[in-house]
Chains A and B, each alone.
Chain A
């Protein structure tokens, strides 16, 4: 177990990789009440075509299966795992993202018992055809709930419009039709391939003793046997560099239209050695231009093209990446047009040193604020780990970024055919 000091915030994290491949990060913090634990696999909704464990040929599984699997992990032969956490007053949960499936709990008593339960239930799958069938009704309701949410449809509509083949374009939960095809065997195939400890990380943050906690985890893991970690081939399709559609309109029974402009990343921006820097650059660029202190936000507001605030998103992963700027707007077409113009003007804009230092200051404050929250720190550790990065690197990367470098990197960010505009308009218009 080695110590990782985080100098800026005076905190310490402990790391160890076990023989079975599992990476463990412990972040003790004595002044908080609770402990938060997250057990995550580097497997998300985009991992649909892959070479299963002990098999050479690629298979493709139904849309939404990672999320379905997440739901089914909680059900065991002797009942529901939620119950075990509940009995100790802990609250458990799970989520599936594009690239990750994670199981988590927060608890203020009986932490060690909860950690054991977390490890044991995720490492002990139990799927039957009957229980798989029963889950379909619940997930169907979940999908339909999202279908009614305009913000959700806007976000996924934008991604779908940018990507032609890459599975990021598919809703994380799949569709009512696709989940109907899922079988217990499919779930085992995915589980056995992606839930190997070598593909997983455990982060625990909160009130505990790190030495004692590490011993407990090691003991738990030593009692279980695992195969050698598999080499997993993942196929995301042959994705064109440019966006699939430059415009897309979705009709929904809503009152207030919405519009989102998406910028698809070029693959070179996602290379491991530049990914973190580019991630920061997107963040700072959104701040300079589109946050409430941004020039472009002010114009959009004055022109009556945005109701209240903008929705700003950016996501850079190894196999896909995008930035998005969205809003509720009475004039979606005009909003899309103006935002596009603004994005193109970034190339020729001169950013002054003061403005750049100001957004760096702001970002630094935001990084400090992340340490207010155990969940945020733990999620960051996992995300960085899965990208092959050190979570502390964000501090020096930010410090070293100069206005010249920033300006230079913005030059290659946006071309016309990287941009898509997605709108949601009321039905009958």
Chain B
């Protein structure tokens, strides 16, 4: 396979990662601001991406900001906040056509960097604070968004499971913030959060595309300046024990029940058991050939979907399924049996080999997308471990059946969450 190289420059204010590739017709730039997640500031940080997209000093409305992007040949731009382990990351992503494919243009990339500088360093301010009307409006938007999570049942069930499971851990903090905090936020307090982010967050910058490192380096030197000092360290997640399994059940007007499981693996990205955890997850529920899909869906027709996913930076693993409400007990038993079956070593050679191939395939596929390339590399920053794509493949290849059994026995069920219908299967729960 082609080896991707992260040509990294240790700038005093940020880490610049340049990953050259000819795969794309566009260049992608991502700025990632990271710090440990905190209950006190999370709602402010959740609100920032909304406010920053609504205008800058020189593009004072959302419309003017977007018109500038149109002029950059429909550059795609987004700002979002997310939780990675016990850190909160605010990412600005700009994807713009490579000028090689446009006859009339030769400095699109430069204009792109200037645009990012404008959004990050020149927000629209009134008396050293964000515009109060704008903040009020965006608080409403965030409130509406938080209120509509309950309408997306799968997302809601995930959120509730983590709420219950990680109440006393910072991983349990909701990355979209809390409605109760909104009252106390105004243009001044939000501006404080913004300044704190610009000054002190860890900042990683990624540039992926068919462009020379020297050009990128020069552009950032000349077009991108932030007032930075003493950046914070990102945090390694705390680990808790799974003691007794708790079961939480909630009823709403739904046709399909959501049955979600939370497990503790205590295995994170830098852990030597991490490759074996990936293989365990693949055998358990990561793919259409996995035990969950084959048994819950294909063999017993209990669900349209049943899958598992792990959280690389916290050491958790989740199972999701959508089931008929009255099938709760049956589905629960079958899901738990699949885990036990792996613990007992019930893994065929085919299953093991297929799973390894599927993991390697999905890694390669990730590296065919520019955002995939960025996320994959950034995972190493958060995970505190550097490796090449070939290292990862070799590590997956080396996983044995015994390694998987060992991991299966480290994975412990912590919480079962059921969202069910008000009439249907509630009596079973």
Binding site for B on A (CB under 8 A): 8-10, 31-34, 80, 82-83, 86-92, 106-109, 134, 137-138, 141-142, 144-145, 147-150, 253-256, 287, 291-295, 297-298, 301, 304, 307-308, 328, 330, 358-359, 361-366, 368-369, 371-374, 427
B354 — which chain A residues lie within 8 A by C-beta? 86-87, 89
A87 — which chain B residues lie within 8 A by C-beta? 350, 353-354, 357
Q: Is B67 positioned at the interface, with any CB of A under 8 Å from its CB?
A: yes
A361 touches B73 (CB 8 A): yes
B2 touches A365 (CB 8 A): no
A395 CB to closest chain B CB (Å) equals 11
B253 touches A427 (CB 8 A): yes
Closest to B53 in A: A292
B152 CB to closest chain A CB (Å) equals 8
B208 CB to closest chain A CB (Å) equals 11
Given A107-B361, A108-B361, A256-B151 in contact, is the A32-B74 Cβ separation under 8 Å? Answer: no
Closest to A253 in B: B253
A365 touches B75 (CB 8 A): yes
A134 — which chain B residues lie within 8 A by C-beta? 301
- The B interface is mostly helix, strand or loop, or mixed, namely mixed
B237 CB to closest chain A CB (Å) equals 30
Our pick among A109, A293, A372, A374 for the contact of B69 (Cβ within 8 Å) is: A293
What are some 20 contacts across the A-B interface (CB < 8 A)?
A8-B101, A10-B101, A82-B288, A86-B288, A86-B289, A87-B353, A89-B354, A91-B358, A108-B365, A144-B256, A144-B324, A307-B141, A307-B148, A308-B144, A358-B70, A361-B74, A363-B74, A372-B23, A372-B24, A374-B368
CA distance A253 to B255 in the complex (A): 11
Our pick among B62, B72, B153 for the contact of A148 (Cβ within 8 Å) is: B153
A292 — which chain B residues lie within 8 A by C-beta? 62-63, 66
B2 touches A109 (CB 8 A): no
B288 touches A365 (CB 8 A): no
Binding site for A on B (CB under 8 A): 1-2, 21-26, 61-63, 66-67, 69-76, 95-98, 101-102, 137, 140-141, 144-145, 147-148, 150-153, 252-256, 287-289, 297-298, 301, 303-305, 322-324, 350, 353-354, 356-358, 360-362, 364-365, 367-370
CA distance A90 to B364 in the complex (A): 11
CA distance A151 to B69 in the complex (A): 28
CA distance A148 to B156 in the complex (A): 13
Q: Beyond A31-B21, A34-B368, A368-B102, list 12 extra A-B contacts (CB 8 Å).
A: A33-B368, A83-B289, A86-B289, A91-B358, A108-B361, A141-B303, A148-B153, A255-B148, A358-B67, A369-B95, A373-B369, A427-B253
Our pick among A31, A86, A145 for the contact of B304 (Cβ within 8 Å) is: A145
CA distance A372 to B96 in the complex (A): 12
B322 touches A145 (CB 8 A): yes
Our pick among B73, B287, B322, B356 for the contact of A365 (Cβ within 8 Å) is: B73
B144 touches A328 (CB 8 A): yes
A256 touches B144 (CB 8 A): yes
A369 touches B97 (CB 8 A): yes
CA distance A91 to B137 in the complex (A): 44
A401 CB to closest chain B CB (Å) equals 16
Closest to A363 in B: B74
A29 CB to closest chain B CB (Å) equals 8
Our pick among B21, B66, B287, B368 for the contact of A86 (Cβ within 8 Å) is: B287
Among the interface residues A8, A141, A297, A361, which one has the most CB atoms of the partner chain B within 10 A? A141
A298 touches B256 (CB 8 A): no
